[in-house]
């Protein structure tokens, strides 16, 4: 029955296909899922980072890796085939590969624009497409993509990144409508700043403090494990009726976009 098809994956072995697995959120997702007994197929273009990840998982983990660029559709399809023959049927997908290249829009080069859109949006689409090709016929699968609080508004200097993440939300919602009745759920998480190399390299200092930290009610950035926990929930059967949603993991930032500044409470002001 259609409405039962993605309910309770029922203890069957799980295999997670994770891109951007060599660092940050992707690596944290791999560690968390591996600790839950999920086999890990890890892709990234950073070979040394994949080796470090493998070491951190310990020798008991069922693990396969591929050095690939997510813009390369044939490479992703080949890794899907390799994963299925060596680890088993792919059940969980987390396209984490991404990057930011900030610049004022009026001087942003076409190459900077294309690079960010190609990796964050087109790369994510190709991961979803390549893995769905094997999950849809089995009517079983869950995908969680990486949006951002940047997909809640605009950010100066980040026109390319914001466009990629708004586009990604459109992609997630479209795939959820297209694949839901074939047993594949598609969701996204929208983190605020997360303590990873991307945050250090991709966001200007003043922006990090003035916009992200000062306006975040919890008053700090997320740790990678806090984002991985949200992703693991959306992947799991505990989220079996959730599809097409974007889960904010943002320390309350977007709850108070208009009003909040950490350390002040406008509601207590006398008028
Ligand atoms: N760190 C944050 O503050 C934050 C906030 C919101 C959303 N995100 C999103 O989370 C995702 C992961 O970011 P992160 O913070 O873990 O960054 P990160 O830099 O720690 O990790 C990104 C990984 O993607 C890989 N990668 C980049 N381009 C690739 C390509 N073309 N092919 C294959 N691999 C590639 C990198 O080698 C790296 O291992 C990104 O999509 C990012 O936009 C991050």
Our answer on whether the CB atom of 119 is closer than 6 Å to any ligand 1 atom is yes
SS3 198: helix
The closest residue, in CA terms, to atom 43 on ligand 1 is 98
- Unique residue bearing structure tokens 């966001």: 203
User: pLDDT tens digit string along 143-183?
Assistant: 999 999 999 988 888 999 999 999 999 999 999 999 999 99
Residue from 97, 169, 209, 224 to probe ligand 1 pocket by mutation (most atoms less than 8 Å from CB): 97
Give a yes or no: residue 83 inside a domain.
yes
Give a yes or no: residue 76 inside a domain.
yes
Give a yes or no: residue 65 inside a domain.
yes
Our answer on whether the CB atom of 44 is closer than 6 Å to any ligand 1 atom is yes
Our answer on whether the CB atom of 70 is closer than 6 Å to any ligand 1 atom is yes
Give a yes or no: residue 60 inside a domain.
yes
Asked if residues 168 and 95 have their Cβ atoms less than 8 Å apart, the reply is no
Instruction: Compute, in angstroms, the gap from residue 26 CA to the centroid of ligand 1.
Output: 7
Give, rounded to a whole angstrom, the gap between the first and last alpha carbons of the chain. 59
User: What DSSP state is assigned to residue 234?
Assistant: H
By CB atoms closer than 10 A (0-12, 13-18, 19+), residue 87 is buried
CATH number at residue 155: 3.40.50.720
Single pTM value for the model: 0.93
Give a yes or no: residue 130 inside a domain.
yes
Neighbours of 267 (CB within 10 A): 6
Number of domains making up the chain: 1
Give a yes or no: residue 61 inside a domain.
yes
Residues 6+ away with beta carbon under 8 Å from 104 = 156, 157
Instruction: Compute, in angstroms, the gap from residue 179 CA to the centroid of ligand 1.
Output: 25
Give a yes or no: residue 217 inside a domain.
yes
Our answer on whether the CB atom of 222 is closer than 6 Å to any ligand 1 atom is no
Of 7, 161, 257, 266, which is the active-site residue?
161
Q: Is 257 a catalytic residue?
A: no
Pairs from 195-202 (Cβ < 8 Å, separation ≥ 24): 195/221, 195/222, 195/223, 195/224, 196/23, 196/24, 196/25, 196/224, 197/23, 197/24, 198/24, 198/98, 198/99, 198/100, 201/100, 202/99, 202/100, 202/101, 202/102, 202/161
The closest residue, in CA terms, to atom 9 on ligand 1 is 146
Give a yes or no: residue 255 inside a domain.
no
Asked if residues 187 and 234 have their Cβ atoms less than 8 Å apart, the reply is yes
Alpha-carbon span 225 to 28, nearest angstrom: 6
Instruction: State the closest ligand 1 atom to the C-alpha of 198, by its place in the atom list counted from 1.
Output: 19
The closest residue, in CA terms, to atom 2 on ligand 1 is 194
The closest residue, in CA terms, to atom 41 on ligand 1 is 98
Cα dist from 129 to 9, 48, 90, 126, whole Å: 21, 27, 13, 5
SS3 152: helix
Q: What is the pLDDT along the chain (271 residues), one digit of tens a residue?
A: 333 333 445 568 999 999 999 999 999 999 999 999 999 999 999 999 999 999 999 877 799 999 999 999 999 999 999 999 999 999 999 999 999 999 999 999 999 999 999 999 999 999 999 999 999 999 999 999 999 999 998 888 899 999 999 999 999 999 999 999 999 999 999 999 888 887 777 677 777 777 677 888 898 899 999 999 999 999 999 999 999 999 999 999 998 766 666 555 545 454 4
Residue 33's domain spans which residues?
A: 13-249
Our answer on whether the CB atom of 23 is closer than 6 Å to any ligand 1 atom is yes
């Amino acid at each position: 029955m259609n409405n039962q098809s993605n309910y309770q994956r029922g203890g069957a072995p799980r295999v997670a296909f994770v891109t951007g697995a060599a660092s940050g959120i992707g690596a944290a997702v791999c560690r968390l899922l591996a600790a839950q007994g999920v086999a890990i197929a890890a892709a990234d273009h950073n070979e040394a980072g994949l080796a470090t990840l493998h070491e951190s998982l310990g020798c008991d983990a069922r693990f396969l890796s591929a050095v690939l660029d997510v813009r390369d559709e044939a490479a992703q399809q080949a890794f899907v085939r390799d994963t299925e023959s060596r680890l088993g049927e792919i059940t969980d997908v987390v396209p984490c590969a991404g990057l930011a290249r900030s610049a004022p829009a009026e001087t942003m080069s076409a190459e900077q624009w294309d690079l960010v859109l190609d990796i964050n949006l087109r790369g994510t689409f190709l991961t979803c497409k390549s893995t769905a090709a094997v999950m849809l016929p089995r009517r079983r699968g869950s995908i969680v993509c990486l949006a951002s609080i940047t997909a809640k508004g605009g950010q100066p200097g980040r026109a390319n990144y914001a466009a990629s993440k708004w586009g990604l939300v459109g992609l997630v919602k479209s795939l959820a409508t297209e694949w839901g009745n074939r047993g594949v759920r598609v969701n996204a998480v929208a983190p605020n700043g997360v303590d990873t190399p991307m945050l250090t390299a991709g966001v200007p200092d003043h922006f990090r403090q003035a916009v992200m930290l000062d306006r975040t009610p919890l008053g700090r950035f997320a740790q990678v494990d806090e984002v991985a926990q949200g992703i693991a929930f959306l992947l799991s059967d505990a989220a079996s009726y959730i599809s097409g949603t974007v889960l904010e993991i943002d320390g309350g930032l977007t709850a108070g976009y208009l009003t909040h500044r950490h350390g002040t409470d406008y509601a207590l002001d006398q008028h």
